[in-house]
Structure 1
Amino acid sequence: MTRPHRRTTGRSQRPRRAAILLGSLLLLVAAGLPAAAVERQASESNTQTTADQDYPLPGLVTGDLRAHDPSMIRTPQGYRLFATHDGVQLRTSPDRVDFQRNPAALSAIPEWVYSRNSGGDVWAPDISFHNGTYWLYYAASSFGSNNSAIGLATSQTAEPGSWQDRGVVYSTTTSADHNAIDPSLLVVGNDWWLSFGSHWSGIKMIRIDPATGMRHGSDRTVHNLASRPSAGGAIEAPYILERGGDFYLFVSFDRCCAGTDSTYRIMVGRADSPTGPYYDRNGTPMLGGGGTQILGSHRNVIGPGGQSVLRDTDGDLLVYHYYDANNSGIERLGVNLLGWDDQGWPYVY
């Protein structure tokens, strides 16, 4: 039985800006960043305008940063960042700061992709590690279409060219009322769940067989998690994080992929079951368009979204893309640590 959700009003107290900045600088020093880079981050953070203080600048990252829909994992060899396009873009980093482009994760595009995207493009990867295997879910579609499919590739090392495609996990056609893109795997004990969705009737979830990573053979239920019936269906990119027995559904609202005209923003809701129901902090159901904003456009950061969360040694890291108003509106990797307030709601710092 679902227990009543915890309803709160107003904004809870957040840590003071100085404490947040100090924590960020200590993280950069611990990562082995040069002193000059640490000083530059401090200077940039201190010049943030009053209107932007609720949304700090992204943490310092360098190297090849033009990544859409990033998903990151820490391996024994360092960090691996997967992103949309080019056979699943793959970047490596020894310290979570400097990222270098590597050959594509997929050495060849599977044939099933071309019936959904004639150019063989693949989108929105989701990386995780379970039972000694790396699991990479990703999608094939084209803009404005729900002739889409979610596929799976696996690897023992997560290195370029090591991935074996396992085929289609779930698909939709133009007659469907939802869209099979933007996959994200949630593992809770022995239960595996895949959330996905973009526009149409919103965010969905299916059960996954842990032995294969494919759709469960007997439980074929498609759960409804979130939608935006009064906003043209503009919700996508789900990611679910379990914390303290609660489940947090992160989604992107509004318009992606339009440079400085993008209106993407990152929203969150909470439930006590993976399958929901999810509510925002004001008690509005996410199935009715609810969602609490935790990151939106500010200063040169335009349209942040396409998010995932990495649970790292120093905390939970929000990983996302945005469009840089200071650099012709190109896409860039954004990272911020997540804090948790006294009501159990996340915020970025």
Structure 2
Amino acid sequence: MIPLHNIPKDREHDERIQQDESLWATHNVHDPSIYKEGDWYYVFSTDAQEGGTFKAGIQIRKSKDLVNWQWVGRAFTEVPGPAKNWTGAVGLWAPDVTKFGDTYYLYYAASQFGKTQSFIGVATSTHIEGPWIDKGEVVKTEQDEGPNAIDPNISIDEKGDPWMVYGSFFGGIFLARINSATGKFAEEGKGTLIARRHASVEGAIEGPYIVYNPHFDYYYLFVSYDSLFSSYHIRVARSKHIEGPYVDSKGHEMTNTELPPNDVGMKVLGSYQFDGGPAWIAPGHNSILKDQEDYYVVHHVRMEGKKGHYLHIRKIGWTEDGWPLVSPQRYAGEQDKVVNIDDVLGNWECIYFDKDNNGKMNALNICITTHHNDPNAYVVEQHADNYFSLFSSRHPSIDGIMIQGWDWEQWIETIVFMGKDSEGNVLVGKRRE
């Protein structure tokens, strides 16, 4: 485990942190995008902060272990002229960084809350910490036009070709091919629609991110649903082709607006509270880090009863049938090890991510056993290294993964579980001492 003695526990909050950006670390991170360069991990994030004097320009942080973060600065000193002139934006949103050849490309969005008069631009640099030179417009949209030019993410397909996925409320999520020589659209137009939600929920989908997993030969589309202030949560679907169609674990296409809005997309992370810990509210707008064979979800979240927002990084576990599930605990440097059945017996706290309830989910206390005569317990079976199934007389069986974790509420090592049933309903949890 990474030494955590310098990391404040969740309830330890020094107000001076909000006044000194050099101390922000994981505070004030919104819409984080992650990129690894050499031994360093970099997070670029939206111009959003609680406390201090507001500054525009895209926040930059870096870390060598994904736990301890240090402030780097901002990519710009102000909103670039073309973006500001088109949108009137006072800050920049949802950046994303990639590299073509020897040049880094920083994509950013400019808009105003609730509007579609929006602008995605790009800047370049020969060093990931800048200086950045603005190269202007990638795509822009007019008010009430349909697509909304925010939330860009550059994804690379299995052939090495780049694409941009972008969009949000109002028009849905779009995908367009990128010319790696310019960093801009390879073809005219707005791209292809790959996901949307019904007008009855205000089309509440945004923050798209696509990652390819070569082991399963699928592209995975992560999106955030609902209100970023209260009911934000992360869902996922997959496709054999980067252009889609993207379908969830029940085979529902992400463009389906005939079904009830919460029936589409597999919910993998939402608001929750474990015993003895804070309530984490509205996790979302994630990026994905693929670091050798490990995958991590990087997202922002709010703490109930406090203003502001925080950076969380969690390991992704992959089911045997190729679905990503998110750890219920933040990454703390734990190393992979084989989890045996004796390691998982006993009392657990679990969170059930109900697809129809996007408020806070409280912990459920369950017992995991190998005895089939206890109707109140889950019976566990191990069928491969770290792969387990849970059976209950009262609930559908759940298939998932057990891995080493860190219990941030109890401040001890633990085992965490990530699983789903045949309908794509997700249960996560941690073993209690």
Residues 1:81 and 2:43 are matched in the alignment: yes
**Could you tell me how far 1:108 is from its partner in structure 2?**
4.3
**Whole-Å separation in 2 of the counterparts to 1:37 and 1:107:** 31
Cross-structure match for 1:309: 288
Secondary structure of the structure 1 residue equivalent to 2:272:
coil
1:135 aligns with 2:109: no
Which of structures 1 and 2 has the larger relative contact order (alpha carbons within 8 angstroms, sep 6+)? 1
Please report how far the alpha carbon of residue 210 of structure 1 lies from its aligned counterpart in structure 2 after TM superposition: 1.3
Return the offset for 1:109: 2.8
Asked if residue 70 in structure 1 is aligned to residue 32 in structure 2, the reply is: yes
Q: Output the CA distance in 1 between the equivalents of 2:168 and 2:42.
A: 25
1:113 aligned to 2:83? Answer: yes
Specify the alignment match of 2:311 in structure 1: 333
Deviation (angstroms), 1:252: 0.1
CA offset at residue 64 of structure 1? 4.1
Q: 1:65·1:99 contact (CA, 8 Å) conserved in 2?
A: no
Aligned pairs (5 A) from 1:1-349: 28-29=1-2, 33-34=3-4, 36=5, 63-76=25-38, 78-85=40-47, 86-159=56-129, 161-188=130-157, 189-217=159-187, 220=189, 222-229=191-198, 230-244=200-214, 245-256=217-228, 258=229, 262-288=230-256, 289=261, 290-299=264-273, 300-313=279-292, 315-325=294-304, 328-349=306-327
Deviations 1:255-314 (A, max 9, x none): 01x2xxx10000000111111111110111110152000000001110000100011146
How far 1:156 sits from its partner (Å)? Answer: 1.5
Residue 273 of structure 1 aligns with an amino acid whose one-letter code is H
Distance 1:119 1:220, change over 3 A: closer
Look up the equivalent residue of 1:324 and give its one-letter code. Answer: M
Using the alignment, how far apart are the partners of 2:39 and 2:124 within structure 1? 17
Separation in structure 1 between the aligned mates of residue 237 and residue 71 of structure 2, nearest angstrom: 34
More strand by share: 2
Change in CA separation of 1:220 and 1:179 when aligned onto 2, cut-off 3 Å = closer
Preserved contact between residue 190 and residue 210 of structure 1 (Cα < 8 Å): no
| Structure 1 residue 133, shift from structure 2 partner | 2.1
Task: Kindly provide the amino acid, as one letter, of the partner of residue 234 in structure 2.
Answer: I
Tell me the secondary structure at the aligned position of residue 115 of structure 1: helix
Paired with 1:319 and 1:88, the residues of 2 have a C-alpha distance of 17
> C-alpha separation between the residues in 2 aligned to 1:330 and 1:110?
25
Cα distance in structure 2, aligned partners of 1:292 and 1:320:
17
Measure how far apart 1:131 and its partner are.
Answer: 1.6
CA distance in 1, matches of 2:31, 2:148: 17
Distance 2:119 2:89 in 1: 15
Moved over 4 A (4+): none
Q: Which has the larger radius of gyration?
A: 2
Greater percentage in helix: 1
Distance of 1:88 and 1:158 partners within structure 2 = 13
Q: CA RMSD in A?
A: 2.3
Q: Deviations over 1:73-97 (max 9, x none)?
A: 1212512110001211111223221
Amino acid at match of 1:255: S
Pick closer, same or farther for the CA change 1:190–1:100 going to 2, 3 Å.
Answer: closer
Task: Please list every run of 5 or more consecutive structure 1 residues that lacks an aligned counterpart in the other structure.
Answer: 1-27, 42-61
Give 1:47's aligned residue. none
Q: TM-score normalized by structure 2? A: 0.64
CA distance in 2, matches of 1:213, 1:105: 17
Extract unaligned runs of 5+ from structure 2: 11-23, 48-55, 274-278, 328-433
Distance 1:221 1:182 in 2: 14
1:176-206 CA distance string (max 9 Å, x none): 1120100001112242211101111210111
Q: Give yes or no for contact 1:68–1:332 (8 Å, CA) kept in 2.
A: yes
Contact map agreement 2:177 2:186 (CA 8 A) in 1 = yes
